């Protein structure tokens, strides 16, 4: 197998890089895994890389809002009692909200699923979820998992997230972060295994197009004029790339062309002092959604300053703004909610826009996502988190789709 990678490093849309001014390694976007990422964790176990992850003992997410501070904290109890404890202790909710959340959970456990064409917002309102519950719990969860607001998101995908991440087991609801840069999480071991199996890795090689001969692919053409002949080709690129590689009249090109991007904007700050007391903090009633304390997450704290990354999910509006405008907005929110940030001095900052961070997880997109594995060409195989995994755009979806593509190729 020959692996062609356009970048100088492996990892695709989940990678890390060295920031020029600080010299520190930062991720292209702060990724959170969960205990329900069974295929991802199994892969890390097979590669003996689980030790690179930091697991929560139980689900715990502190939130800040104009009303103060509260925490969604699960208990060490069997499902669904772990979630009941979390709802009971979450100060943003009223008792009517908690009862409504329990009723929704019971409906899901009884197999009552959303309609395929429903948005998450319409589904929650049809099931009489109170506005305060939607604002304090379901909207933040949807932004984190689907990278979109409830108004645009697929209800089917949100229901799947609730079932797998919150309702299935206490283990599945735990948050997990990488203690190392994303490029170091999987790629060193996977590349080593790839080479042990006789494979070749070719970096810095941009694929221009696939060469077709009727219903088969005969090779891959790169921008530097080379052609790699192939018996089989596995595409692991996202929707916004693969549509330019295949014939424009094909079913795959038509499906990929209809899938829109959903951006994430990250703002990295290096302060002269700590501004938060938790590794992860969520924000309610704010354009800012998450703050991560990189010193509390990473194996090796920064040699100078206190680095944080502020994250805005579904950032269509911010994606159109200048870095200075984004920085001012985020800094204003940090100072509004965190008293320690008001006098903190910024030593360095860096704004990162990921326009195609995930696919737009709408009901329309869910209906046209192509299946992983076989395509309309007999030797072209498809993988990627944007394929029909039944999951949002996540590392778990990417790993799952890769396994399905490998199984389909093995059967060919």
Domain boundary among 122, 150, 173: 173
What are the tokens at 394?
A: 């996540």
Q: How high is the pLDDT of residue 31?
A: 86
> Any long-range contacts for 277-280 (C-beta under 8 Å, 24+ apart)?
278/62, 279/177, 280/32, 280/61, 280/62, 280/175, 280/177
Cα separation values, 48 from 52, 171, 183, 215, Å: 9, 20, 16, 40
Q: How high is the pLDDT of residue 254?
A: 97
Domain assignment present for residue 80? The answer is yes
Domain assignment present for residue 47? The answer is no
Domain assignment present for residue 368? The answer is no
Domain assignment present for residue 346? The answer is yes
Domain assignment present for residue 353? The answer is yes
Question: Residue 293 forms beta bridges with which residues?
Answer: 308
Domain boundary among 154, 173, 192: 173
Length of the chain (residues)? 412
Domain assignment present for residue 117? The answer is yes
**The model's pTM:** 0.94
Q: How high is the pLDDT of residue 104?
A: 96
pLDDT along the chain (412 residues), means of 10: 90 83 83 94 94 93 96 90 93 97 94 96 98 97 96 98 92 93 88 92 94 94 95 96 94 97 96 94 97 88 85 94 96 97 95 94 98 96 97 96 95 90
What whole-number distance in Å separates Cα of residue 197 and Cα of residue 1? Answer: 9
In sequence order, the 6+-apart residues with CB closer than 8 A to the CB of 77 are 85, 170
Domain assignment present for residue 52? The answer is no
Pairing between strand 346-359 and 280-283? unpaired
What are the tokens at 284?
A: 């309610």
Domain that holds residue 276: 261-359
Task: Return mean pLDDT, the chain.
Answer: 94
Domain boundary among 312, 344, 359: 359
- CATH code: domain of residue 311: 3.90.660.20
What whole-number distance in Å separates Cα of residue 274 and Cα of residue 308? Answer: 9
Chain CA centroid to CA 51, Å: 21
Cα separation values, 335 from 141, 167, 345, 361, Å: 24, 35, 12, 32
Cα separation values, 52 from 18, 26, 47, 178, 307, Å: 19, 15, 11, 6, 20
Per the structure, the count of domains in the chain is 2
Question: Residue 282 forms beta bridges with which residues?
Answer: 63, 290
Q: How high is the pLDDT of residue 353?
A: 94
Q: How high is the pLDDT of residue 29?
A: 81
* DSSP 8-state assignment for residue 149: -
What whole-number distance in Å separates Cα of residue 222 and Cα of residue 253? Answer: 19
Q: Tell me the CB-side half-sphere exposure of residue 31, using CA atoms within 13 A.
A: 25
**Under 8 Å between Cβ of 282 and 62:** yes
Quick: pLDDT tens for 337-366.
Answer: 999 999 999 999 999 999 999 999 999 999
Domain assignment present for residue 187? The answer is no
Q: How high is the pLDDT of residue 209?
A: 93
Chain CA centroid to CA 256, Å: 19
What whole-number distance in Å separates Cα of residue 127 and Cα of residue 125? Answer: 5
Q: How high is the pLDDT of residue 17?
A: 84
């Amino acid at each position: 197998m020959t692996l062609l990678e356009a970048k100088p490093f492996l990892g695709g849309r989940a990678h890390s890089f060295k920031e020029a001014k600080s010299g520190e390694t930062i991720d292209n976007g702060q990724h959170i895994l969960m205990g329900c990422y069974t295929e991802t964790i199994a892969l890390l176990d097979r590669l003996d890389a689980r030790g690179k992850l930091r697991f929560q003992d139980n689900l715990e997410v502190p939130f800040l809002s104009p009303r103060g501070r509260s925490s969604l904290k699960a208990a060490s109890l069997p499902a669904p009692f772990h979630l009941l404890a979390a709802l009971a202790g979450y100060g943003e909710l009223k008792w009517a909200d908690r009862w409504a959340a329990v009723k929704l959970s019971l409906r899901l456990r009884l197999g009552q699923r959303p309609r395929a064409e429903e948005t998450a917002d319409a589904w929650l309102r049809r099931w009489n979820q109170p506005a305060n519950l939607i604002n304090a719990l379901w909207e933040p969860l949807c932004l984190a998992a689907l990278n979109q607001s409830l108004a645009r998101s697929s209800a089917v995908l949100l229901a799947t997230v609730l079932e797998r991440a919150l309702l299935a087991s206490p283990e599945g609801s735990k948050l997990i972060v990488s203690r190392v840069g994303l490029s170091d999480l999987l790629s060193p071991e996977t590349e080593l295994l790839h080479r042990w199996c006789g494979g070749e890795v070719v970096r810095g090689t941009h694929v221009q197009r696939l060469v077709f001969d009727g219903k088969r692919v005969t090779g891959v053409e790169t921008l530097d004029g080379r052609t790699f002949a192939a018996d089989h080709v596995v595409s692991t690129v996202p929707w916004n790339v693969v549509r330019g590689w295949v014939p424009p009249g094909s079913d795959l090109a038509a499906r990929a062309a209809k899938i829109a991007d959903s951006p994430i904007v990250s703002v990295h700050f290096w302060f002269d002092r700590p501004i938060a007391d938790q590794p992860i903090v969520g924000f309610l009633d704010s354009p800012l959604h998450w703050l991560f304390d990189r010193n509390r997450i990473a194996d090796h704290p920064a040699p100078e300053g206190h680095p944080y990354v502020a994250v805005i999910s579904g950032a269509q509006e911010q994606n159109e703004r200048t870095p200075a405008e984004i920085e001012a907005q985020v800094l204003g929110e940090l100072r509004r909610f965190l008293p320690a940030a008001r006098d903190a001095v910024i030593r360095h900052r860096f704004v990162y826009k990921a326009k195609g961070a995930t696919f737009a997880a709408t009901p329309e997109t869910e209906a046209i996502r192509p299946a992983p594995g076989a395509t309309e060409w007999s030797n072209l195989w498809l993988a990627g988190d944007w394929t029909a995994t039944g999951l949002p755009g996540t590392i778990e979806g990417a790993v799952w789709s890769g396994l399905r593509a490998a199984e389909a190729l093995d059967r060919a």
